[in-house]
Each structure stands twice: as structure tokens, then as C-alpha cells.
Amino acid sequence: MTKEIILIGRSNVGKSTLFRELTGKKVRIGKRPGITQHPFRAKVGEIFYVDMPGYGFMLNVSRAEQEKTKDSIVRYIEEHSGEIILAIQVIDAASFLDIADRWEARGEVPFEIELWEFMADQGLDVLLAANKMDRLARLDRDKALDLICERLGMLPPWSQWIDRVAPISAKRCQIEPLRAAILKRLGEKAREAPDI
């Protein structure tokens, strides 16, 4: 059976940058977000890392096209739930709260929150990679992480959730908290089911 770790999140949050850090494999970064319509896979040891297409606002991409991307992500998760041993939801920690507020002001559930809940409902093991921490002033970081956790149904302080929430800066190659969380999960799984 193939085992997958998927990276999922809005366009431009830094998924591909993180993917490169985790796998050492080059994927196109930055330019023309939303153009990658297909999951990009790279094998590390026995595990496939999958860089999922981003969803959300994309320049020159129609609303209908965006809905199709979301549907395809949801379908991918449903169809691969047996292979996905871990999902990493990547957010831009510096803009997550503003975007969530904007959606809620319009009476909509922010897709990032919907997706987090959807993955939990699917029984997936999900980690939150709070990326772009470098864009937050040092003094604001704990507060921002507390508020983000609260929106995702995890009671603050965020430091209670250190096994699920990893503040990182993929661009600056500062992803140790995420590596540690991944290794811990994989270690636990190996003990639960020695074939993984």
C-alpha cells in the first residue's frame, strides 16, 4: 500500500516552498498560483509527499474554476483516505485571521476552517503548519497562534497543541517544529501498526 503525506492549503501560503524543504524536490514556486492543477508527488523513503493544488483567490482564474479546484481536493481526500497517513494543512499565519474575518463578515465559513473540520471528519490525522511566521512581529506571534487555534477549535494557549501546530518559516528553512511533529506522528503510527 502506498502511504502519503499531503500538503494542503490556499494558493500562495507556501506549500511548494515547504514541499521542497521536506522532500528536497523542486516544484514551481510563486509564479502563477493556481496553475498547478494536479497533485505533485515525491517519494521520500517509503512515503509519498503530495503537493496539492492550492485553492482560493487566484489571478485570472474564474470562480467556477476555483470551485472545481476545491471539489477536486475534497474528492482526492475522499478517494485517498486509505493511503493518507498524515495531512499537513499549511496556512499563512500572517493573513489567516484577516481572511477568516472577511469570510465570516460575509456570512461564509472560511474554507480553511471548513477544510480543517472536513479532514477531521474523514478521520485524518492533521497537522497545522503555521507558515510565514517571519512576517509576524516576534511579540505578536503567540497571540496570533492562540487566535488561529481558537478559530480551528483548539483552546488556547496554542502551546498546548505543540504536537499538532507547528509555527514555521519555510522560506527561511525554519521548519524544525514541523519535522518534529511529523516524526512523532510517524513514530506513533509505527508502534500502532508496525507495517507503516
Ligand X SMILES: Nc1nc2c(ncn2[C@@H]2O[C@H](COP(=O)(O)OP(=O)(O)O)[C@@H](O)[C@H]2O)c(=O)[nH]1
The C-alpha cell that represents 19 in the structure block: 514541499
Which among Mg ion, ligand X, none contacts residue 69 (Cβ within 5 to 8 A by kind)?
A: none
C-alpha–C-alpha distance, residues 167 and 162, integer Å: 9
The C-alpha cell that represents 71 in the structure block: 471539489
Q: How far is the CB of 11 from Mg ion (least distance, A)?
A: 7
Site for Mg ion in 11-30 (CB under 5 A): 15-16
C-alpha–C-alpha distance, residues 34 and 174, integer Å: 25
Q: In what order do the strands lie in the sheet with 3-8?
A: 40-44, 47-51, 3-8, 84-92, 126-131, 165-167
State which of residues 8, 17, 119, 149 lies at the interface with ligand X (CB under 6 A). 17
Interface region with ligand X, contact rule CB under 6 A, candidates 25-33, 110-118, 119-127, 141-149: 25-33
* Angle subtended at Cα 6 by Cα 187 and Cα 165, rounded to the nearest 5 degrees: 60
User: Count of residues binding ligand X (CB under 6 A)?
Assistant: 20
Binding mask 43-82 for ligand X (x = CB under 6 A): -----------x----------------------------
Interaction between residue 11 and ligand X (CB under 6 A)? yes
Contacts of 191 (CB under 8 A, 6+ apart): none
Interaction between residue 13 and ligand X (CB under 6 A)? yes
Interaction between residue 69 and Mg ion (CB under 5 A)? no
Q: How far is the CB of 148 from ligand X (least distance, A)?
A: 15
Strands 47-51 and 3-8: parallel
The C-alpha cell that represents 175 in the structure block: 521548519
Strand partners, 6: 50, 87
Interface region with ligand X, contact rule CB under 6 A, candidates 58-66, 79-87, 144-152, 170-178: 170-178
Applying CB under 6 A, which residues contact ligand X?
9, 11-17, 29-30, 33, 54, 131-132, 134-135, 169-172
Chain residues in the site for Mg ion (CB under 5 A): 15-16
